Structure 1
């Protein structure tokens, strides 16, 4: 891919594939925000990795991802909080092995009853996605928090 291709948005990814990835992210984030951690983990490959907190070791495999999410969300026990993950500005780049590098801007919106939405953190999500047939799965995810850059 040339610099001109990148500048014009010609990344070698079809509109159909781009749309499928956006739909994938929408379903994945709704599972996470709905507390359906098993469904969220099922969007990763069996040996997928998930690193969401700065400095933390990545969770490995679907069971590891579920355990990490349960542990992380204990901080909200007894707190009637609703968190929403907003993914936008998705850039997809084909890799030589047939997978995709995905770079996404993400905001997390936290709302409590009667309160105003709080937007934090602002992040960049760095994924490697595998696409086989109609299925999209996350092979790896590393999240970089903007406030730490």
Structure 2
């Protein structure tokens, strides 16, 4: 039997996963957790972090087109704030909104859970005798 709470919970979880979808969403949010960044700084820092990890999360660098798409979606969902200045607004900065900061704090326990699973799986692989 499915009660109303389960349906509501599932819908909320689906909305969250949709919000986090996109290959670079978490990388962008994590980079903005450090503080406000210009568009160029954000692009460079995301790619630098991925390169330092040996491109384990992504096969190729984040492109300007893909970053723009992710930023528009995050801004439309009120997870980041955009600030534009200069002639024709050619200087643009991004930062996490209050909702984005709250979401990031909620993601940290999930990241810890995922890391624990990887450790446990690695330990099980070491202790499992070959077939």
Could you tell me the TM-score, scaled by structure 2's length?
Answer: 0.30
Which structure: greater strand fraction? 1
Could you tell me the TM-score, scaled by structure 1's length?
Answer: 0.27
